[in-house]
Amino acid sequence: MAASPLRFVAQAFRPAFGTVAAAQETEKTVADGVYTDAQAARGATVYEASCAGCHRADLGGATGPALRDQRFTRQFAGKELKALFTKAARTMPRNAPGTLGDNAYLDVVAHLLKENGFPSGSQELSADALDGIRIVPGRPKPPPPVGDFSYVEVVGCLTADSRGNWLLTRASAPVAASAAGSASSTASATTAPPGIETFHLLDAMAYAPETHRGQKIFVRGLLIKLPDEQRIAISAFEMLSPSCSE
Ligand code: HEC
């Protein structure tokens, strides 16, 4: 079989690819602190004014795709930072591409890196530096703390206090129920207590608490924060492990 011209070209390039792969191992990545906090703060202002309308203030995506987390990783991880810069600087804002000036786009890239969990450093990101920096998968930021009267999910050890009130002790930090997805199934199957929080459970009697004393329990419900204690009005209650010990 005659070698196609295409295959011939591919073979001719193979040594070049090998060189690139070797260079990547020592290459700088966005995890190395490639922008400054001041730059990211300027970028946040640009983002708010020119990008948030379509990509949402928290980068979660609206008419434009999310610019963070899985979507960001899927689109950009493995590429040079220049690819992200070029995408933004040449095609965004979508209704006025390229209108902001290179410095504003560099600042906005810094903001995107920060929001994707990459650390800041001592040097501002410059146009010259873009080529030599590779994007690696982002580190999802921890969910924001939940407010009073939000619907939350927690995991902890079911305990009664001296007055017979039911508590969830050594519990995980509350996560918003909507953001948590199926927290009960993702909660670890171990018996170890997951955290340091204490929640007073309202309406625990409806869930036969005596039969669950000392067990590791998942609770979903309304969080009520008082000055000296946190309460949860239970809407779902599930035993995860018959024991809750180290
Ligand atoms: C008028 C709406 C709109 C505005 C304003 C806007 N974008 Fe976009 N953006 C989009 C849409 C729609 C897409 C998807 C289509 C595309 O890639 O062109 C997109 C795609 C992107 C992408 C590629 C993301 C991916 O995962 O594919 C990046 C990066 C981006 N925008 C950055 C920005 C930045 C930075 C700004 C502000 C300077 C901005 N956008 C302003 C609508 C907008």
The pLDDT value given to residue 148: 83
The pLDDT value given to residue 149: 86
Quote the ligand 1 centre to 14 CA distance (angstroms).
35
**DSSP classification of residue 80:** B
How far is Cα 174 from Cα 153, in angstroms, rounded to an integer? Answer: 6
Average pLDDT along the chain: 86
Quote the ligand 1 centre to 66 CA distance (angstroms).
9
Structural domain spans, the chain: 5-134, 151-241
Domain 5-134, classified CATH 3.20.20.10, yes or no: no
83 strand-pairing partners: none
Quote the ligand 1 centre to 92 CA distance (angstroms).
6
Give the pLDDT confidence of 133-189 residue by residue, as tens digits: 999 987 755 666 777 888 999 999 999 999 999 999 999 988 888 655 554 545 455
Quote the ligand 1 centre to 93 CA distance (angstroms).
6
Name the residue of 85, 90, 92 to mutate for ligand 1: max ligand atoms within 8 A of Cβ. Answer: 92
Task: Give the torsion through C-alpha atoms of 173, 179, 183, 187, to 10 deg.
Answer: -50
Quote the ligand 1 centre to 54 CA distance (angstroms).
7
Judged by DSSP in three states, 16 sits in: helix
How far is Cα 226 from Cα 134, in angstroms, rounded to an integer? Answer: 47
Quote the ligand 1 centre to 91 CA distance (angstroms).
7
Give the pLDDT confidence of 64-96 residue by residue, as tens digits: 999 998 899 999 999 999 999 999 999 999 999
Give the mean model confidence (pLDDT) for residues 37-52.
Answer: 98
The pLDDT value given to residue 147: 78
- Give ligand 1 pocket residues (Cβ under 6 A): 50-51, 53-55, 63-65, 67, 71, 75, 84, 87-88, 91-95, 100, 108
For the entire predicted model, the pTM comes to 0.60
Q: Considering the domain 151-241 in this protein, what is its CATH number?
A: 2.40.50
Give the pLDDT confidence of 231-243 residue by residue, as tens digits: 999 999 999 999 9
Contact in structure between 68 and 77 (CB atoms under 8 Å): no
Residues in the chain: 246
The pLDDT value given to residue 179: 53
Pairing between β-strand 151-160 and β-strand 133-134 as defined by DSSP bridges: unpaired
Q: What residue type is assigned to position 111 of the chain?
A: H
Name the residue of 84, 94, 115 to mutate for ligand 1: max ligand atoms within 8 A of Cβ. Answer: 94
